[in-house]
Structure 1
Amino acid sequence: MKQFILIIVLISFFDMFSQLPIMSPFAKSLGASPAFIGLIVGMYSFSNMFGNILAGYWIDKQGGKKVLLFGFPLTAAILLLYTIVTTPGQLMAVRFFHGLFSGFLVPAAFTVLANRETESKQGKSMAISGVAVGISAIIGPAFGGIVASKYNVEWVFIIIACAMLLIAGCSAFILPNRSVTLSSKVESSFYTLFSILKTPVLAFSFIGAFSLMFAQGVLAYMLPLQVESLNYGTHFSGMLLSTFGITAILIFGLPTNRIFDKYPHHHTMVLGMTIIGFALILLSNAASLPYLFICMILYGAGFAFLFPSISAMLVEQTDEETRGKAFGLFYAFFSLGVVAGSSLTGILSVSFSTGFIIAACLLFANSIWIFIYFKRKAALHEGME
């Protein structure tokens, strides 16, 4: 059962990662201007935020299984629309609905996974789920690029759509039917999105998600430019990103994942943010290929500490009646971080060195703020005793 849920997580992220290397050329082939290409690429993340939030409400009312059984076939249908678009405007519309409906999948998958684990094992569970995310991040872009170049870009969408339909069919029989009983707290709308955002630990989880993906957005935008400026082949950009992913997967999947249940999640969260910040500072001055690979190994280690920590913090601060909305918000902040990171550095027209420093400063500032909060909370608790 758990392995099947991890396959669901992998397919949900694989959909997004597989289109990274093909969407810009696809939009260009339809006659889109450079500015419109940027809008087309960013539209997925923009509408994905709304899909995440809508999914949160639906998950808490109907359960994650029903959302997955609806989301996978609908997303598959939208994927097939890519094969018939002929204008940039049509592609923009398809990207909007693709982001919106695929936004149902990840919060539902993680909610189903979280509801199957005991509280004491949430850190390890989220770390193992990170393996699925990391694998999709490594093989997704390669799959999209290879299939599009050897066959046709339409086949990327067709194959993923078929995989989603297959997963939806299997989910109907494999995933358990979980009845969701709404308490008076939910019926009175006490747990609204605003009240979730006001919960300090949940807010820090969302801040961690935003910070992580802000850095990821900057990295995806700036690293290829840095590699190009150093006169290395473009394939090294993919190798460097794979290095960060492989490092994270090793930490997620090896016995090292036990640390996520051994130490407080806010400790590993702050550690992860700090490590990523240092990796970005080092990247801003990197001038050789070996140095770049070392930086990406360090970045991958920081990612591996941060992602399970913020996910486990969210799970521990919610119950089955509110977890869907919380995960919806969580992945909305993921999407917002990617959009903000890549867009801000693009609008400011900064160099890759400055872009990395901006992202590092955000991570350092948030990690210091979170560290001070929990330090004061611990001191207050000791004083009361």
Structure 2
Amino acid sequence: MRFFILFIVFISFFDMFSQLPIMSTYAKGLGAGAAFIGIIVGMYSFSNMIGNMLAGYYIDRKRGKTILMIGLGLCGAILFLYPFAVTPVQLLGIRFLHGFISGFIVPAAFTMIANRSESGAQGKSMAITGAAVGIAAIAGPAFGGIAGSGNVQTVFIVNGILMLLTAAAVPFFIPKQGVSGGSSEKKAANHSGRTVSSLMIFSFIGAFSLMFAQGVLAYMLPLQVEMLQFSSSASGTLLSTFGITAICIFLLPTNKLYDKYKPFHLMTLGMSVIGFALLLLSNSTSLLMLYVSMVIYGLGFAWLFPSISALLIQQTAREVRGRAFGYFYAFFSLGSVAGSAITGALTVSFKSGFLIAACLLFGNVLWMSLYNIWKNPPNMV
């Protein structure tokens, strides 16, 4: 069952990442202008955020198995609508539906994984889940670029088939009792309401900060590579470098560190390391330094992603965990949109864009650390 849920996580992110290399050109081919192309591309994240926020209530009330089966099935059906779009407005509507329905799948999958994680091993569990996301982040764009170069509709059809087949397999691989089953863990009710609230906010801020940096990186790194007159393929290999680094940390025995150290400390460490990597990127003029920066970025990502997820798990009771993960991934979507949109709107250079993202990360680390010291909450985990 656990492997199957990890596969669902992989398929969901693979679907999203595989469309990154093709959506702009697909929209342009339908006659969309530059501004409208940006709206079409961003619509997925916008509606995904809405779906994330609504998903939690249904996950907690109607159980994640049903959400996964319906969500995967509808998402697969929507993917088959893409080839029928003949105008930019139709494509925009399909993107809205696609992002909205997809917003239900990931919170449901992560909630089920969290509820089945052994007490004291949530960090390692989230690290392994992060590896599934990382593999999708590497394989998705590669598939989209290769398949889309021949016939862009192939990407939608293949993803649609995968979604429908996975939806059909849900009843066989996820038993009825599996959704709410799992080992016991300390209830968040043991903590004061104020402490739970502050730590959950820290997790949300960590998610926003991570994806803000990702948004800036996705927007600025290709511009930096182009300005430094390196091969256009360097952008892809640089992004793969950080992904491979993170996956190695997730899957190697180093993943034991996630349950040895407190999630809050690993979270602030990861944010600081990513901030440092962004500072290096802003001053990198050689390909070697770019690769070194991306390896460091991958280390920070590897420490940050599982720790913010583990922090959320340890501070929420099972009965409300679906809602917690729903809002958690809404902050993911918001950060991704804000990172690229803000730096794009300011029309800043890649150096200034990386500095803005680094300042956001360091600023959040500073105020959260000071707040933690000031409050000194008991039972900090």
TM-score tier, shorter chain, comes to over 0.9
Deviations along 1:235-267, whole A, 9 cap, x unmatched? Answer: 100000000000000000000000110001000
In 2: Cα distance, 1:315 partner to 1:201 partner? 11
1:209-220 correspondence runs (5 A): 209-220=207-218
CA contact (8 A) 1:21 1:141 kept: yes
Aligned to 1:171: 170
The Cα of 1:196 is off from its aligned counterpart by 10
TM-score by length of 2: 0.94
Task: Provide the C-alpha distance between the structure 2 equivalents of 1:275 and 1:297, rounded to a whole number of angstroms.
Answer: 11
2-structure distance, mates of 1:35, 1:297: 34
Partners of 1:42 and 1:238 lie apart in 2 by: 21
AA paired with 1:21?
Answer: P
4+ residue segments displaced more than 6 Å: 195-198
CA 1:179–1:282: 2 relative to 1, 3 Å: closer
Asked whether the equivalents of residues 52 and 104 of structure 2 are also in contact (C-alpha less than 8 Å), the reply is yes
User: What is the aligned partner in structure 2 of residue 311 from structure 1?
Assistant: 309
Partner residue in 2 for 1:281: 279
Tell me if 1:129 matches 2:129: yes
Contact 1:63 1:179 in 2 (8 A): no
Corresponding residue to 1:367 among 334, 342, 365: 365
Kept in 2: contact 1:251–1:301 (CA 8 A): yes
* Counterpart-to-counterpart distance in 2, 1:148 and 1:201: 43
2:316 alignment partner, SS class: coil
- Contact kept? 2:77, 2:164, Cα under 8 Å: no
Query: 2:324 matched to which residue of 1?
Result: 326
Aligned residue identity for 2:208: F
Structure 1 residues 338 and 381: CA distance shift in structure 2, 3 A: closer
Q: CA deviation at 1:179?
A: 8.6
Aligned-pair CA distance for 1:58: 0.4
1:347 is matched with 345
Deviation at 1:374, TM superposition (A): 2.4
- 1:21 is aligned to 2:31: no
Where does residue 231 of structure 1 map in the other structure?
Answer: 229
The equivalent of 1:33 in structure 2 is: 33
Output the amino acid matched with 1:287. T
Taking every aligned residue pair, what percent have the same amino acid on both sides? 62
Which of 279, 297, 301 matches 2:299?
301
Letter in 2 for 1:302: G
**Structure 1 residue 373, shift from structure 2 partner:** 2.3
Aligned length: 368
Residue 82 to residue 274, structure 1, CA distance change in 2 (3 Å): same
- Deviations for 1:80-118, whole angstroms, at most 9, x for unmatched residues? 110100010100110111100010110011011111112
Match of 1:159 in 2: 158
- RMSD, aligned α-carbons: 1.7
Q: What residue is the counterpart of 1:185 in the other structure? A: none
- Once residues 106 and 138 of structure 1 are traced to their aligned partners in structure 2, the CA distance between those partners, rounded to angstroms, is 18
Cα separation, partners in 2 of 1:381 and 1:37, compared to 1, 3 Å: closer
**Hey, what's the Cα distance between the residues in 2 that align with 1:197 and 1:7?**
34
Give secondary structure in 2 for the equivalent of 1:321.
helix
The one-letter code matched in structure 1 to 2:312 is L
Q: Deviations over 1:270-323 (max 9, x none)?
A: 000000000001100110101000000000000000000000011111122100
Q: Is 1:96 aligned to 2:96, yes or no?
A: yes
Distance 2:51 2:268 in 1: 29
Instruction: Check whether the contact 1:217–1:338 (CA below 8 A) recurs between aligned residues.
Output: yes
Q: 2:184 is matched with which residue?
A: none
2:120 aligned partner, one-letter code? S
Query: 1:176-231: CA deviations, max 9, x gaps?
Result: 214989xxxxxxxxx9xxx9998100000000000000000000000000000000
The aligned runs of 1:127-276 (5 Å cut-off) are 127-150=127-150, 152-178=151-177, 199-276=197-274
TM-score (norm 1): 0.93
Cα offset, 1:376, TM superposition: 2.9
Partner Cα separation in structure 1 for residue 109 and residue 72 of structure 2: 11
- Residue 46 in structure 1 maps to residue 62 in structure 2: no
The answer for the alignment partner of 2:56 in structure 1 is: 56
Using the TM superposition, give the Cα deviation of residue 173 of structure 1 relative to its aligned residue in structure 2, in angstroms. Answer: 1.1
| Cα displacement (A) at 1:172 | 1.2
Distance change in 2, residues 1:247/1:196 (3 Å) = farther
| Change in 2 beyond 3 A, CA 1:134/1:197 | farther
| Separation in 1, partners of 2:170, 2:234 | 38
2:230 & 2:247 partners in 1: Cα distance?
A: 26
Report what 1:105 is aligned to: 105
1:381 Cα deviation after fit: 5.3
Contact 2:273 2:300 in 1 (8 A): yes
Change (3 A) 1:381 1:142: closer
| Distance of 2:266 and 2:99 partners within structure 1 | 31
Is the contact between residue 77 and residue 160 of structure 2 (CA under 8 Å) also seen in structure 1? Answer: yes
Are the equivalent residues in 2 in contact too, given 1:196–1:326 (CA < 8 A)?
Answer: no
